[in-house]
A and B are shown apart, each in its own frame.
Chain A
Amino acid sequence: MAEALTHVTTYRDIAAMWVRSSLAYPVSFATMTVGGLFITGLDFVGIWLMFGTIDSLGGFSLPEIALLYGATGLGIGFADLVVGNVERIGVMVRMGTLDQMMVRPVPLLLQVCADQFALRRVSRIVQTAVVFAWAGTYVDWTVPRILVAVIMVVSGGAIFFALFVMFSCIQFWTTDASEFANAFTYGGNTLTQYPLTVFPQELVKILTFVLPIAFVNWYPCLYLLGRDDPFGLPTWLQFCSPVVAALLLALTALVWRTGVRHYTSTGS
């Protein structure tokens, strides 16, 4: 436990250095942050405008979709803030930065995640938190529901964290395939912004059992909204998010270790 705490401290220290580094170019930092807020802000406006012509999508109302949108957005937002840079691992391999990290007495994954830490990524969290909070005013809150909501955001972050790292590990072999990883992380985020009832059942099964991002928001949100599963899947799935997150994290640790051991560095 003490060990984990020092890792958190080290992460914070390295991240703080990068934040101060980015403040060396204040105008760039300001425009990136404001621009980020603007772009992510517009994101939900698209869905909102759509509801000007329709009353429900896949049987879900605007506040319900906002809840799904906010939940998956918070998940990927936290994951992106903490580990977003893992997708640059191919660049780190080519530049030799990875070699330098490997000779420091701090876990490699921690250093890779903290590298080029970008505070401007907070804008996504802020924007989705606003949408989530607004959607939350329509939820009939009870103590178990509050608990499930908290666990949902934590598990969602963990699931996206695992996907970010796992798919980035491919770059240990290919040295460049960051777009491949994006297809699953940001792509998964886009899919889960909508109620899964708009998709064919096969896709829903894939998102449950193969690439389990339905656990980021869909199943726990069904519980928060007091809905039965539209596909007739068992209710207990609605509480499985932390289990799925833990399994994915374990798998990620395995993939990461294999990747590092297969690492072949570059010439010179």
Chain B
Amino acid sequence: MPLIVAEGLERSFVVRKRAGRLRRQSAQVNAVAGLDFAIEAGEMVGYLGPNGAGKSTTIKMLTGILVPTGGRLEVAGLEPSKHRTELARRIGVVFGQRTTLWWDLPLRDSFVLLQRIYRTSPARHRANLAEYVELLDLGDLLDTPVRQLSLGQRMRGDITAALLHDPEILYLDEPTIGLDVVSKGRLREFLRTLNAERDTTLMLTTHDLQDIEALCRRVLVIDHGRLVFDGSLPDLHRAGGSARTLVVDLLDEAPPITVPGAQVRRIEGPRQWLSFPADASAAPIVAAVAASYDVADLSIQEPTIEEVIKDLYQR
């Protein structure tokens, strides 16, 4: 029995628009229009889609915040919107752009209150807090008021807050948004450990394909409220034929570079853009370029989610 099951899941909103001076027109918007998927316990699933695709609406239905307007949804054996408070004990939610922590009080105080709200046993709470403080390096920050924390520090605090009651599922909405490279890396490392050691099911929405690469064996892509892809990240790249770009800065202007496995897309003075399949390794191409040309600098550009999805449609 999968942990999360959605069958024909739908959510529509009525949007009123001004049409003339007083008249208003109502239009129905189908934010989620018939989703089918099942997620097993212990999976790490990336949930991708362009802005307005229905990602947040899906997460809000999964957590019970929104009532679906059609279809069936079951999370941990419960219907989320009917058993919202019961389900709340078994899930953790991190909204990347907002904090659940008490702004003016030390980080520690928020954790104490959460123990009371979730009625976690004191022993369990202490053990979890000690572990997450260690793993997320929060030790020195516990007595700092939340408003004085940096974005990355606050995110670590928020993740701890979402995990103290031992949830079976952790939903993360854009967890790495706004974080620097080092913080992103540490966060991904932590999430991997969490999944491996506690078997916590993770579902994350993100704009950053590298989050998915580092964490998720499975990707769900949603667009216009419909599931357009369900599979692994390499499969997604293959299905879309999406490409990464190697930007080569040569010492001098040169004719188009010829190396196996990559094509030149653009040339601008000494700078050339080579594209190669996103599921291929960049290493042999970089090596081949460096071996035969005088290279000043190299950089690799990942395809954006929007590009990958656009490519998916063009096939």
Contacts and interface: CB of A to CB of B under 8 A. Distances in A.
Contacts of B52: 267
A186 interface: no
Interface string A14-30: 10010011001100000
Contact of A265 (B65, B103, B105): B65
A24 B105 contact: yes
A103 B93 contact: yes
Nearest to A98: B65
B118 interface: yes
Contacts of B118: 104-105
Interface string B102-119: 111100010001001111
Contact of B64 (A13, A14, A103): A103
Contacts of A95: 98
Contact of A10 (B13, B105, B116): B116
B104 A21 contact: yes
Nearest to B97: A268
A21 B103 CA distance: 8
Interface in B78-134: 81, 84-86, 88-89, 91, 93, 95, 97-98, 100, 102-105, 109, 113, 116-119
Given A10-B116, A265-B66, A105 B104 contact: no
A105 B56 CA distance: 21
Contacts of B303: none
Interface of B: 13, 52, 56, 60, 63-67, 81, 84-86, 88-89, 91, 93, 95, 97-98, 100, 102-105, 109, 113, 116-119, 145
A265 B91 CA distance: 19
Contacts of A21: 102-105
Interface of A: 6, 9-10, 13-14, 17, 20-21, 24-25, 95-97, 99-100, 102-107, 261, 263-265, 267-268
A21 B109 CA distance: 10
Given A13-B113, A14-B113, A24-B104, A105 B67 contact: no
A20 B60 contact: no
Contacts of A263: 65-66
A100 B173 CA distance: 12
Contacts of B56: 267-268
Contact of B85 (A97, A99, A107): A107
| Most interface-central of B13, B52, B117 (chain A CB within 10 A) | B117
A105 B105 contact: no
Contacts of A17: 102, 105, 109, 113
Contacts of A265: 60, 65-66
A27 B72 CA distance: 53
A128 to B, nearest CB: 30
Nearest to A261: B67
A1 B257 CA distance: 78
13 contacts: A9-B116, A17-B102, A21-B105, A24-B105, A100-B93, A102-B64, A104-B117, A104-B118, A105-B88, A261-B67, A261-B81, A268-B56, A268-B97
Given A102-B88, A268-B56, 4 more contacts: A17-B105, A20-B105, A104-B85, A105-B88
Contacts of B119: 6, 105
B68 to A, nearest CB: 11
Contacts of B91: 103
A264 B13 contact: yes
A96 B13 contact: no
